[in-house]
Amino acid sequence: MGKLICDSTTSSPVIPWKDPTAAPAPAPSSIDAIAAVDLSDDILTAAATTTTTTTWDDVSGLEDQQKRHLQRLHAKGVLWKHPGNNNNNKICQNQNQEDDSSSAVVFRLSHGGDVEADGNCLFTASQKAMGLTEITARDLRRRTVKRFLEDLGSESGIERANIDAAIKHMYSPDLRSGWGIHVVQELKLLAKKVDRESLDSAIEELVNLGMQRELAAESIYKERCIAVDNGQNWAKYMSISGSPDDEYNIITLQYTEEGLLTVDENREGHAAAFGDDIAIECLATEFKREIYVVQAHGSDAMVDEDNCVFFLPHRPRSEICGPPFFLFMKGTGWCGAGGDHYEPLIAHSSSVVSHEKVALVL
């Protein structure tokens, strides 16, 4: 599963899909003369040579309008140009500045197949999209958390406060507001596995005093568990993969405007922390590559056909030393912000064509 936030402070603006044959923009300088990006042929071809792709007609859960746009993306390709010094990104030290600023490549995007919806899909899909064979999804999760903590330690006090506020907004929201946007809101809490027995005993004491079981559980968990409301606690949360060696279990309290709806106590300990925008940016920084989440929304999202597919770019916080990789998300409605499930996209590189002939310029 995955989690995207509409007002992310860590993502770049949405790039909607647009057929350039309808309204072609001026072509970038020198783009027709470039045969291919000179970054790393191994990186460009790794995913394509190690992963079996699926045609868009065979991908489940897509409407006809989505399939048409995705098939056009595959047929025409998307053009990516190394951003160089743009957007506050530094040029990789082992890259030539002049070459970087003009390097470009066309990617034809294929579906990389289903991944298990076990809460680890961001990392599983990223592993497949990058064609990694010796790094597991759990390795990617650990590296993501490590990168976050290292970057957090170097931030100013003001920036750390902004990060804490964004995390609190996502995982420990103020239940007095937000109901104009969300029907259900969640609080995420972390319970140490070794404390489970004492937590159960405390809940049972309140039940014996006449309190309803769910209200007793809510009270004890909110009092004794760790709220995911700052950077340090986000790192604890994002480390959870639903495996037996996790230190914490995830407790989820769901609310409607009327009050408590459900308490998910996760007694089997299988719940994993869903990847979010912060995790995606950390992955991008760790691998020094841009990550594009391609969202395909259906008619239930109330978007017209021309805008049912769009790209959400996530850029590394430092230099860019390789081509981007792509993830796919099938949105089920605008209110969910597409936060459903990540799947891999396999990017096949090809020679650069003119700006007017590609489906999109990233």
Q: Please count the other Cβ atoms lying within 10 Å of the Cβ belonging to residue 126.
A: 28
* H or E element at residue 26: none
Q: Which residues of the chain have pLDDT under 70?
A: 1-52, 84-102, 300-306, 331-340, 353-355
The token duo for 339 is 């936060």
pLDDT of 15 reads: 46
- Given a contact cutoff of 8 angstroms between Cβ atoms, the answer to whether 57 and 341 are in contact is no
As a three-state string, the secondary structure of 49-84 is HHCCCECHHHCCCCCHHHHHHHHHHHHHCEEEECCC
The one-character DSSP state at 289 is -
pLDDT given for residue 103 in this prediction:
74
Identity of the residue numbered 210: G
Give the pLDDT confidence score for residue 36 in this predicted structure: 34
pLDDT tens readout for residues 208-259: 999 999 999 999 999 999 999 999 999 999 999 999 999 999 999 999 999 9
What is the side-by-side strand order in the sheet with 104-111?
A: 15-16, 309-314, 291-297, 325-331, 342-350, 104-111, 78-81, 360-361
The predicted structure's pLDDT at residue 281: 96
Q: Which of 42, 114, 144, 57 shows the shortest CA–CA distance to 345? A: 114
Per-residue confidence (pLDDT) for residue 332, from 0 to 100: 56
Q: How far apart are CA 345 and CA 356, in angstroms?
A: 23
At 310 the three-state DSSP class reads strand
Residue-wise pLDDT for 119-167, tens only, equals 999 999 999 999 999 999 999 999 999 999 999 988 888 999 999 999 9
What pLDDT is attached to residue 33?
Answer: 30
Q: Around 233, how many Cα atoms within 13 Å sit in the side-chain half-sphere?
A: 21
Enter the pTM of the model. Answer: 0.81
